[in-house]
Amino acid sequence: MGTEIEDIKSKLNIVDVLGEYLRLDKAGSNYRALCPFHNEKSPSFMVSEERQMWKCFGCGKGGDIFSFVMEIEGLEFREALKTLAEKAGVKLQGYSPQKAKEKNRIGEILELATKFYEVQLWKGEGKEKILPYLRERGLKDETIREFRLGYAPRGWRNAIQFLTGRGYKIEEIAKTGLLVEKKDAYRDSNLRIHSNSRIHESHEEDIRRFEDSRTFADSNRFYDRFRDRVMFPIADYSGRVVGYSARVAPGADESQAKYVNTPETEVYHKSKILYGIDKARMEIKQRDWALLVEGNMDVIAASQAGIRNVIAVSGTALTEDQVNIIKRYTKNIKMFFDMDSAGQLATRKSIKLCFAAEMNVKIVELSAGKDAADIAREDPKKLLEAIRDSRGAMEYILLKAFSRFEKNEAEGKKKIAADVLDMIAGIENEVEKNYWIKKLSQELEINETALTDTLKKANLRSRIRRSEESADAAGSPDGKNLADRKKIEILADEIIGLMLSFQGVWKRVVEKEAAALAFSKDSLLNILVKDGQSLGFDFGKLVDFLRQEGKEKERARAEKIYFEKKYRLDLNNNLEEIFIENPLLELEQIIKGIKIEIKKEKLLKITTDLKMAEEKKDKGAVELLKSEFKKISDEAFNLTQ
């Protein structure tokens, strides 16, 4: 596959590929644009034609053509590879890295499980128990089949037995999220097995029994996650099942969670999934608007009523990733959430996210207690009318605020202003923002300047908060606050940056400094040391290697560190290369710093041990530790000279 990636890159110019999505303007020897991944008014998105790389200095994202297509289209690497291969006219050969195999197996298992649940609904226990319930909810048989609804029967091991009987290993099935692990039961059974083996280890028959019981324990430590539940398969944009939302069966124990969803897996990421997107996306594109509802039944019922461009957040609040997915197909969205307090809060948060992405938002309203599924079942025409009569989001917010507070009282004016300005602050378009400030001013009979000043203060506080959050999140690859990171971890980042930017530094580290970095648990640094030689100390080959190995976290981090070490924006907002006069000397200083930090950590441990030895009055240990402390202190001091 490495050759295929290289062929694609050689035949496609990054400027041409990104130019299909963005308006790129020449900036010296590079190009720049407004970043498509966050909202900005001044372009900080840079494209280097020479390096065939892109980087946003605003949100920190960056990479090559594959990274860009994956990010903007919401695709997995394999999908982006196919897309770009077609564009480049490159024929893909056999592709079977381990990660891809695992994902394929997960997909096969989920597809088979979905068929199993469908059979249980139409021919098994669900035929008498669940089908009547779904029909009572107003669903037609063809709709139930279209959305592939199913039934997970009662019992703890139905799915396990079915899937293992089809040749899948228990560990493979566990990766789909279909199972729950009984860790305590497994530990106890292992203790019994090992105990028995010690007693009877001389007997051949007992050894055979031990092997059989160990196999049973391995299988028996899992049970089915979904039991006696109506199954709603969740698919990605292409229609492949990636997970489930499972509703407790009617008449079952209602004290359980009403819905149980698939946990995060290799293929299911709830913040990036929209229920129904596979069936709705083309309709959304053609009609140029999307109806966003709360739940699975809302999607199914609305679709049956003829509204095919409908999707749901399905068990999570609307996320930025989901908004970006919708934005691929349309900038117009109509929200239909419950009218209760939770629904109203979700509506406000969702409106803010959509405003930030410069989406056009309308709100669909119905009487309290009614959701899309109820109305679609009782009176589909009323649902269509409600959608047709939807209000603009700001008009909706304004009316809600004036209905909650008294506009003729000072305290009421203050609350209305705070409530509405909180939403106006998220509007990116200045003309639209000024329109609503003026509207609010007229309704409250307050000077526009007072509202504008209040809005500026709110915006400033918001920017400061976001800046602090971004700084914290960017502090380390695992999201630790920068202040919480050890200095040795920060120095490791510095070494990685030098190695990626300068082949000579990378080679020097591998050949002469590897021992100094043996302490490190940093996965990326260890890859650079271990595989640097075979990669020819080449950054581009490293990125391709990490991608083939499915190490997306390390790949994204490598690209981020590389750009931050290699480039910056000058005073004219142009991309310029950072000049380092003597990178090998800088490497020497960083290595020295790491050695000092290692010794500091040793001294800290000795200090703790010394305190314990003194408390125990262990004179021998005290003397030994003091001697060791002096030795390491001297070594650390010599390093600083």
Residue-by-residue DSSP string for 141-162 = HHHHHHTT-EEE-SSSSHHHHH
pLDDT at 97: 54
Please state, in angstroms and rounded to a whole number, the distance separating the CA atoms of residues 277 and 334: 15
The better pLDDT of the pair 1, 137 is held by 137
pLDDT at 457: 66
Q: How many C-alpha atoms does 262 have within 13 Å on its Cβ side? A: 27
Nearest to 441 by CA among 459, 455, 426: 455
Q: Compute the average pLDDT of residues 345-353.
A: 87
pLDDT at 130: 95
- pLDDT confidence tier of residue 184, bands split at 50, 70 and 90: very low
* CB atoms closer than 10 angstroms to residue 598: 15
DSSP 335-355: EE--SSHHHHHHHHHHHHHHH
Backbone angles phi, psi at 383, to 5 degrees: -65, -45
pLDDT over 60 at 475, yes or no: no
pLDDT over 80 at 392, yes or no: yes
Please state, in angstroms and rounded to a whole number, the distance separating the CA atoms of residues 281 and 273: 13
pLDDT at 41: 81
pLDDT at 164: 95
Mean pLDDT of the chain: 82
pLDDT at 183: 66
pLDDT at 68: 92
- pLDDT confidence tier of residue 460, bands split at 50, 70 and 90: low
- How many angstroms separate the first and last alpha carbons of the chain? 50
Strand order in the sheet with 332-336: 310-312, 290-293, 332-336, 360-363, 391-392
pLDDT at 162: 96
pLDDT at 480: 46
pLDDT at 325: 84
Please state, in angstroms and rounded to a whole number, the distance separating the CA atoms of residues 82 and 110: 23
Portion of the chain with pLDDT greater than 70, in percent: 84
* Location of structure tokens 């280890």: 201
Position 336: which residue type?
A: F
pLDDT at 395: 93
pLDDT over 60 at 300, yes or no: yes
Residue 180 tokens, joined: 């729950």
Secondary structure string (H, E, C) spanning 202-251: CCHHHHHHHHHHHHHHHHHCEEECCCCEEEEEEECCCCCEEEEEEEECCC
pLDDT over 50 at 212, yes or no: no
The better pLDDT of the pair 35, 463 is held by 35
The better pLDDT of the pair 29, 233 is held by 233
Residue 436 tokens, joined: 């609503």
pLDDT at 150: 97
Angle between helices 410-424 and 430-444 (to 10 degrees): 170
The better pLDDT of the pair 101, 239 is held by 239
**pLDDT tens-digit series, residues 65-92:** 999 998 887 777 888 888 899 888 888 7
pTM of the model: 0.58
pLDDT over 50 at 578, yes or no: yes
pLDDT over 50 at 522, yes or no: yes
Q: Compute the average pLDDT of residues 197-205.
A: 41
Nearest to 229 by CA among 149, 175, 157, 165: 149
In the DSSP assignment, the letter for residue 92 is P
Identify which of 6-10, 198-202, 464-468, 503-507 has the greatest average pLDDT: 503-507
Q: Compute the average pLDDT of residues 320-348.
A: 83
Position 576: which residue type?
A: E
Cβ 476 vs Cβ 489: under 8 Å:
yes
pLDDT over 70 at 58, yes or no: yes
* Location of structure tokens 């055979």: 208
**pLDDT tens-digit series, residues 156-165:** 999 999 999 9
pLDDT at 279: 93
pLDDT at 518: 67
pLDDT at 213: 43
Task: Give me the residues paired with residue 150 across strands.
Answer: 231
Find all residues with CB under 8 Å of 599, minimum gap 6, and list them: 632, 635, 636, 639
DSSP 107-143: HHHHHHHHHHHHHHHHTSTHHHHTHHHHHHTT--HHH
Q: Is 624 left (phi over 0), alpha (psi -120 to 50) or beta?
A: alpha
pLDDT over 60 at 215, yes or no: no
DSSP 316-338: S---HHHHHHHHTT-SEEEEE--
pLDDT over 60 at 190, yes or no: no
pLDDT over 70 at 191, yes or no: no
Please state, in angstroms and rounded to a whole number, the distance separating the CA atoms of residues 364 and 390: 5
Find all residues with CB under 8 Å of 372, minimum gap 6, and list them: 293, 294, 298, 301, 302, 310, 336, 383
- As to burial, measured by CB atoms within 10 angstroms (0-12 exposed, 13-18 middle, 19+ buried), residue 543 is buried
516-525 long-range Cβ contacts below 8 angstroms, 24+ apart:
516/591, 516/594, 516/595, 517/492, 517/594, 519/488, 519/598, 520/492, 522/489, 522/492, 522/496, 523/551, 523/554, 524/477, 524/496, 524/554, 524/557, 524/558, 525/492, 525/495, 525/496
pLDDT over 60 at 179, yes or no: yes
- Residue 563: strand, helix, or coil: helix
Cβ 474 vs Cβ 466: under 8 Å:
no
Q: Over the range 257-282, which residues count as b (16 or more CB within 10 Å of their CB) and which as e?
A: eebbbbeebbbbebebbbbbbbbbbe
Please state, in angstroms and rounded to a whole number, the distance separating the CA atoms of residues 197 and 206: 7
Q: Compute the average pLDDT of residues 509-515.
A: 83
pLDDT at 309: 95
**pLDDT tens-digit series, residues 393-412:** 999 999 988 988 888 888 88
**pLDDT tens-digit series, residues 533-543:** 898 898 888 98
Cβ 469 vs Cβ 60: under 8 Å:
no
In the DSSP assignment, the letter for residue 510 is I
Please state, in angstroms and rounded to a whole number, the distance separating the CA atoms of residues 123 and 117: 10
**pLDDT tens-digit series, residues 12-30:** 999 999 998 888 999 888 8
